[in-house]
Structure 1
Amino acid sequence: FKFVSLKESGLDGKTLEKMDAEALRSLPAVREKQREAQEGLARYRERLKRKFGDALRLRSFGVVALGFERLVFWEWN
């Protein structure tokens, strides 16, 4: 889970409300936080895999909050 403030995004809440999911994902601040989240997920998944092997069959999801107005999420394999 990552958080992007409205100030960091450079947008206000009204503008974010009108944007579709693809437009939100393309924002530079969201892409940066998504990259950070994927790096963290990769490290965590590797530790779990070393400890438990393939028994867990994990599914990983990343979430970026844009202020308290919007969420962007994705499944990461």
Structure 2
Amino acid sequence: MGYSFTEKKRLRKSFSKRPEGVLPIPYLLSTQIESYRKFLQADANPDGRIEKGLQAAFKSVFPIESFNGSAALEFVSYRL
């Protein structure tokens, strides 16, 4: 069988089958849920939140001031 110039023989490695007992598959949804919980800091008191996650995102954006300086929006806290 002849091959064209654009078609080359390539060795293929299959990663679809894993040998048993190599590594356990982690439950990835729990990792995402835990990360989101840390991002929101919903269980923390609004005054006691650390500068991380959503709190840090709000603090980095605010205060927002108008062009002429007559109005400003300031971030106080958030509640879920």
Would you say same fold, with TM above 0.5?
no
Normalized per residue, which structure has more helix?
1
Structure with more contact order per residue of length (Cα contacts < 8 Å, sep ≥ 6)? 1
Normalized per residue, which structure has more strand?
1
Give the TM-score normalised by the residue count of structure 1: 0.33
